[in-house]
Chain A
Amino acid sequence: MSIENFMQNAVTGWMAAHGEHSDIVMSTRIRLARNLRSYRFPIAFTEEESMAVDSAVSGALLDSEGGTYSYMKMADLPALERHVLVEKHLISPQLANPDRPGSVILSEDETVSVMVNEEDHIRIQCIYPGLQLKGAYKQADAVDDVLEKELSYAFDEDFGYLTSCPSNTGSGMRASVMMHLPALTMTKQINRIIPAISRLGIVVRGSYGEGSEAPGNVYQVSNQTTLGKTEQEILADLGNITERLIAHERKSRELLLAKSRIALENRLFRSLGTITYARLLPSSEAARCLSDVRLGIDLDIIHDVDMSILNELLIFMQPGFLQQYADGELTQEEMDICRAKLFRERLNVERASASSEGTEER
């Protein structure tokens, strides 16, 4: 497959580098957890119940919004495709397990994914590029309304939406923003900020899972509590913290530039060299270099690379995508080789087209 075709098929809505503050906020995600009243939760339900839930949910969405959604059962999907859905952040690793009775309902542009029989019967998820808390919530809320019209939700006057895990009870809403915070990381300020923020009911973690280390300096900032605040209040609090983090990050970047411009430029250009020419590219190095190049673009130090390409590469450097691109299983070393090849092709394609439009460079 040519690199252009591969990318075209694989790019999903939120990878586009637009939306508010898209230099620092990569994407916004809203997730709503819902359950049906008459069936036990997935941790305790029977196979018959799981099938009844699946057909009720998919029926409700596909009937009313028919055509715009597609339905996929996990057990019917090849392992690689499930893997790729996880890497695109469209489903959770938990749902991808084919031994569970899970399925996903995806909107055409992939901004909406509804997971069925994950930890809860229903998980509505909307991902938008940049900082768009209100927009993403509005869409998730609309999908929720569509489902609610057909289905009887487990809801309680005191406790709100009843969920499998008590940490989601209430609004069932988890709102998160993925932020690129290289300057706060380099200056180690992030270590002081994370505990301070957690006292405000907001959690910060590395974007790929629960661990605190953040590959590529990408952090996920999300609300920790779901009870006692309206959705709008939760979004406002999270939006506030996000804006403050953005301001802190911008300030730290200015400081780095003022204090050690040459050292910084040296590091950023070396990273650009690595991803453009390397023959072996381990994922940790790739993530670090992508972060540097992204920072270089933001600081107006690196000019001839497009930001949206970096968003794509951060996703495509993962094992599922690499194997899909290579059209087969890869060993660790083959993965590093393939990753380097993919980066070279993607960056060179872009540079070739950028320089052919302008004055001749080569």
Chain B
Amino acid sequence: MQMNVYLHFTPLGPVLVNEEGQILASDMITQDKDPEKIARFMYELETGNVPERVLGFLASSLSKEYTLAVEDEEVARKISQSLKEVKVTVQPGSKVHRALREQQQAIVEKAFGISYSDYYRLVREATILLARWKVKEVAEKRDLYVAQAVNALDDVNKTINLFASRVREWYGLHFPELNDIVEDHEDYFKIVSKLGSRSNISLEKLKELGFKDDLAQKIVKAASNSMGAELTEFDLNAIRLLSDAGLQLYSIRRNLEKYIDEAMYDVAPNIRGLVGPTLGARLISLAGGLEKLARLPASTIQVLGAEKALFRALRFGARPPKHGVIFQHPYIHKSPKWQRGKIARALAGKLAIAARIDAFTGEYKADELREDLEKRIEEIKTLYAKPPAKQAKKEPAQKKFRGHGKRKGESK
């Protein structure tokens, strides 16, 4: 009769036991108790790649008369492919395997001479490492998808602006006063698409569309006193084609923003936590990918997106730019001008750290990073509360950031 030998894997290495559960042989894959090596070993096992080392161990420990019982099918296949003379059976949850798992403590102590507490600590560290690796692996390459999405978002924003100007000019022939009353493009599109002709505009209908009372009143009043030309249904339909498309673009924009938000959570949670999903995605896009961003020095991240100005500075000796696309962050554009350079430098420094964590290790540290940054910004604000003497008089009114129509959401 052939003897059965059971192959029991532990995170520290394989153990061979007989029917009675006696240890016949074992192999510890890392003598120096390195959690990274353990994680790599577990990864191999999970993916069905039995490491060479284990195959070698089996070849040297087994002679032909044994039947080898393992629990995982892929592992069995791999072993029988490499060790043709060994007979392998698959027995998940066999009595012996269950008994071994019950005695895990005794087994690791006997086979590897390691205390259970040391063993447990190592295993836990390794599983955390491994889970982080695998999460990252899944997110890999998605950085380029997110980069495309944020570029698409910019396209959509540009198109919205383009369509809005056209619709405002076009519909303005009929109702010129509306242009100044309704600033928000989406609101404007709504009036054109859903209500159409001036004569169809009423308080009730505006409220149904979600307009606030005082704004609605202003619109109704302007509509009844308008100096614009008459509009036929035939002409209106043509304007609506564009206005409807404008509304649709808004819906696309919202969906894209949602996609970017969710995808950034997987791709770069720390960058997202620090500066928000859209700006984070823009930085990834400008750098050409997450890893590339992670390899940039903070000083480059600070001016990403200001390449033209940088070029001008180098070429014509103009003043170098203090910030690129990170200017979009309220930390910077809401601060007085003379503080912006310093804040930009602090933000870029934290971004560089966040990018490295996202690209290489994957733990979540954004809240700490943000706290540090906010502390530093407070410092800057107290240290440089007043503008430098020379510029004090000419400090221009704070520039309001207006990118593309109304911007909601992104600020932190």
**Is B truly associated with A?**
no
